[in-house]
Every structure is written in structure tokens, then in C-alpha cells.
Amino acid sequence: MRMLPLFIFAPLMGCTSLVMSTVVALDDLDPMTADPAGFEVALDIPDPLGLVKNSTEFQFTATRGETGDVSGGEYTLLETTTPDGHRVYRIPQNAVEDIRAIQKDAATWQATGDNALSVGVNLDFCRTTQDPLPDDLRFSIFIRLAQDAPLLPLVRNSRVTEVIEAEALNELDMCADP
């Protein structure tokens, strides 16, 4: 079965602040057997930026090569904040059960090179001020790969303009009040 990395942050692949030890840990993770209940993403984003409420989603898709059947879904992640200020997003329990069922079903497929699993995280930024945003804003992303495991740095102190063009940064919608 062909598998794609656990978290696909496509815009970050060219990011100069990727932490390679975490990328290796992701590459070693088997999405067929990894428990989705332990997956978490934590963000440190600068104050002039926010996230559109309920826009942070986890996608999990399995494609059966011999039939082309696709199963999976997009699940809105639950947000909490750690004492040190990280916004932490985790998969809700109903989605954990769905993903486990997909993993169980996919495990019964005949092993062919055409089967695929893909997973990813999407988030939509917004701005908290009407003032022009500086192009030197920086962010960090951390991931947890299992319950009770530490948060691992995936992207450390990266310029926001590595993932959002400077022109588009100032065109972001204003964040709605919480």
C-alpha cells in the first residue's frame, strides 16, 4: 500500500524552518496503525493573525487502487489552548472512530501498489487588525503523534511570507469576534 506522509503541509515543504527530525518521525509513522486519538497540531501565530473559527480541518482519505473506491472525510478539529499559549487542535472523538473504521477497512485490502492513504491539515488565516501587516511575522507549528507524547516542532520560527504571499497577507479577511 502506498502511503503519503501523515501531515501534508504542502506550502511548508519549501519552508526553510522545517525541523528535519520531526519530518523523519512523520515519515516513519504508519497511518494504517497510528491511533488518530493521539494526533494534535499546535500553533504559535503572531498576534496580528488569527484563524477563522472552525476552519482548522483534518482530512483522512483511503483510496482502493483496484476499484477506485474512496473513503474518508474532513473533520473540524477541536481547539484548546495550552498554559504556554499554544493553540492545540485535536481530532474529535466521532472522527477518531470514523478514521479507525477506515483504517480497519483499508487493512483488509489486497496489498497493491495502487492503494493510497493521504492525510492533511487545512487552516484559514484571518487578520486581527486593519493596519498593514509587517512582512517579518513569524510562526511555529508543533505536532503530537501519540497520546502522552511530547509536542514535536515541525516548523520553527518561520516567516509567514514563506506560506502566504506578502500581497495576500494584507488581503486576508478580518477575524470575527470570538
For the chain, domains (ranges, CATH) are 2-169 (2.60.40)
Residues 18-31: tens digit of each pLDDT? 888 888 887 787 77
Tell me what percent of the residues of the chain surpass a pLDDT of 70.
88
The β-bridge relationship of strands 49-51 and 125-127 is antiparallel
Residues 45-98: tens digit of each pLDDT? 888 998 898 888 888 888 888 888 888 889 999 998 878 777 899 999 999 999
